[in-house]
């Protein structure tokens, strides 16, 4: 799956490369993006490199079940975040998404655009039936994003996320291939 590139009006989503190391390290080092992240702030760039090397290896497998994309603005060619799709069992046709955007790009629709693009890829190209996501219950930005694209909150796991602030509950979200997704046009009409 090394030739995957997804494009929107404003964004390119392409599989990450080692050349993204500095941008990814900066993203992981921001206190704002770390608040609800279980990864934690890396001690140094070598720690970041060891993390993303596994992602790059997974991206380059012909039968990869873990795809990690760099989110880039088309106009500036600037790296603004990450989004990933972990593909589950063939029998269940499911997947799970996660994302992390640089805080300078929050509230500008880039998360919605990226997530809708990955959902479309998962349902239309990979023929998945169900895509899940989770977020800390206090992560209002992610809650709004997941609900904006049409995902349904299905449950709550208690004290499952080891955050810096302590153990956090996690909301579980999902969307099915048969659910109505909220595309850009549908959101304008709301």
Structural domain boundaries in the chain: 5-189
The 10s digit of each residue's pLDDT in 84-118 is 999 999 999 999 999 999 999 999 999 999 999 99
The 10s digit of each residue's pLDDT in 28-66 is 999 888 889 888 888 899 999 999 999 999 998 888 899
Report the DSSP pairing between strands 130-136 and 152-163. Answer: unpaired
CATH for 5-189, among 3.40.50.12160, 2.40.30.170, 3.40.718.10, 3.40.630.30?
A: 3.40.630.30
Structure-token pair, residue 47:
């720690």
Give the pLDDT confidence score for residue 2 in this predicted structure.
Answer: 53
The pTM of this model reads 0.92
In this prediction, residue 186 has a pLDDT band, given cuts at 50, 70 and 90, of very low
For the beta carbon of residue 43, count every other beta carbon within 10 angstroms: 8
Is the model's pLDDT at 183 over the cut of 70? no
For residue 66, report the phi and psi dihedrals to the nearest 5 degrees.
Answer: -130, 110
């Amino acid at each position: 799956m090394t030739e995957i590139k997804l494009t929107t009006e404003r964004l390119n989503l392409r599989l990450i490369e080692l050349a993204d190391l500095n941008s990814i390290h900066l993203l992981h080092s921001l206190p704002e993006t770390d608040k609800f992240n279980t990864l934690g702030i890396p001690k140094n760039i070598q720690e970041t490199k060891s993390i993303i090397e596994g992602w790059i290896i997974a991206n380059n497998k012909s039968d990869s079940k873990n795809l990690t994309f760099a989110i880039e603005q088309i106009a500036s060619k600037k790296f603004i975040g990450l989004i990933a799709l972990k593909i589950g069992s063939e029998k269940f046709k499911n997947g799970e998404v996660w994302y992390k955007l640089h805080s300078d790009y929050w509230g500008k629709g880039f998360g919605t655009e990226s997530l809708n693009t990955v959902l479309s890829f998962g349902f239309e190209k990979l023929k998945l039936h169900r895509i899940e996501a989770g977020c800390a219950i206090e992560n209002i930005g992610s809650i709004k994003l997941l609900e904006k694209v049409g995902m349904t909150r299905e449950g709550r796991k208690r004290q499952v996320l080891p955050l810096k602030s302590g153990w956090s509950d996690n909301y579980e979200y999902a969307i099915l291939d048969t659910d109505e997704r909220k595309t850009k046009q549908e959101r304008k009409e709301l």
